[in-house]
A = this chain, B = another copy of it.
Amino acid sequence: MMNPSSTGKKPTILDIAKALGISTATVSRALHNNQNVTEETRAKVLQMAKKIGFKPNLAARYLSSKRQMRVSVNTLKGTTSFWNEVRAGIEEERKSLDLENVQIEFRTYQDLGDSEIAAFEAALEAGVNGIIAFPSNPDSMRPLMRWAARSKIPVVYVATDAPETGRLAVVSIDTFASGALAADLMGRIVRGSGKVAVTLFDAHITEHAEKFEAFQSTIKKFYPNLSVLDPIEDRDTDTVSYEKTRRLLEQSPDIRGIYVTTELSMPVIRAVRDAESLDKVTIISTDLFPQLVEQIRNGAVAATIYQRPRTQGRMAFRALYEHLLEGTNPHAQITFAPHVVMRGNLDFFLKRIAVDTKAKAKAL
């Protein structure tokens, strides 16, 4: 009768406290799964909160809370600008959220494997509150993720998923949309019949397998005159990529197009050029970086699938932040559509990257 819902005002912790005959301090503690609350009172509080439809006022919480958060960002240094952009996006989002209570610790490593693991361990040992990481190898990640889970440290993956590792969420481009879009572009541009190939890092990595799968099924469905060859694994090595591409061109002279699902497109382009096949082979690449820009400009690459690294960074940070500070659980998989970049709209993206970089430089 006199409960807040009937008065039209929004329920506060004071309403919960009064309804239960306890203090707001206790309610606050109960709401946060903190220690120092009886299981019994916690249950009562939670129940009452639900009953009267309590929603915390974030402004009040933010204002009164002195809590500092530390999040670790564990990413690859990278050979292209991809990871720089991801990190920039994270930083950007933190600034735009106007968060002074969040500290970001960047742990950037040169190569995969040990240093990746070391960085993750370091973050856990440093006692950060959350981690944003790139999981290159699910298996080596697993023990560390168990550790993180025990310590209740949420982990958000960027760019690639590592399923069943107990991560809070993964932020990435929709792999199916990427592969299928590349296939459709390829099919429309190539027309006619012949073979098309796909290069990837490793067919066992979810991300790459899915892109290939999407590419292949789309070609089959809409461009039956084209056949898709078995995927070429480049192992992230220039020479491997170059050699395999050369061999491919020798063995299949009727090759009409190549879709490079990774950022390792330069060796492929070089191989096609060296085989003097640039005019008969349509190349669709992934990501966007200075060297590739030239190749798009001169027409060697028809289009590139831009994976919006900055947006990935922003979303990853936002998901982690909201979980940490507001207790919300993000979608387990946050995905979005990649952009198609061709000669025509290339400048739009370059300008955008440049502008943002400048803005960032000025602000620091």
A residues whose Cβ falls under 8 Å from a Cβ of B: 10, 57-60, 62-63, 98, 100, 174, 176-177, 179-185, 188-189, 214, 218, 222, 299, 302-303, 337, 339-340, 342-345, 348-349
CB-CB < 8 A to A60: which residues of B? 59, 63
Docked CA distance A189–B57 (Å): 54
**A188 & B337 in contact (Cβ 8 Å cutoff):** no
**A176 & B348 in contact (Cβ 8 Å cutoff):** yes
Docked CA distance A177–B349 (Å): 9
Docked CA distance A10–B59 (Å): 18
Inter-chain pairs besides A59-B59, A185-B185, A222-B344, 11 sampled, C-beta below 8 Å: A58-B59, A177-B344, A182-B344, A184-B343, A184-B345, A188-B302, A188-B342, A218-B343, A222-B343, A337-B345, A339-B339
Q: Which of B62, B189, B337, B344 contacts A348 (CB 8 A)?
A: B337
Closest A-B pairs by Cβ, 6 of them: A180-B344, A184-B344, A184-B342, A177-B348, A59-B62, A181-B345
Task: Decide: A345 near B177, CB < 8 A? Known: A188-B189, A337-B339.
Answer: yes
**A181 & B222 in contact (Cβ 8 Å cutoff):** no
CB-CB < 8 A to A344: which residues of B? 177, 179-184, 214, 218, 222
Q: Which of B185, B299, B342 contacts A342 (CB 8 A)?
A: B185
Docked CA distance A343–B180 (Å): 8
CB-CB < 8 A to A182: which residues of B? 344
Docked CA distance A345–B185 (Å): 10
What is the distance, in angstroms, from A140's C-beta to the closest C-beta of chain B?
A: 31
Can you give 8 A-B contacts (C-beta < 8 A)? A10-B100, A174-B348, A180-B348, A181-B342, A184-B343, A218-B344, A222-B299, A340-B340
Docked CA distance A263–B17 (Å): 55
What is the distance, in angstroms, from A315's C-beta to the closest C-beta of chain B?
A: 13
CB-CB < 8 A to A343: which residues of B? 184, 218, 222
Q: Which of A62, A179, A214 has the largest number of chain B CB atoms within 10 A?
A: A62
Docked CA distance A198–B179 (Å): 29
Q: Which of B63, B179, B299, B340 contacts A181 (CB 8 A)?
A: B340
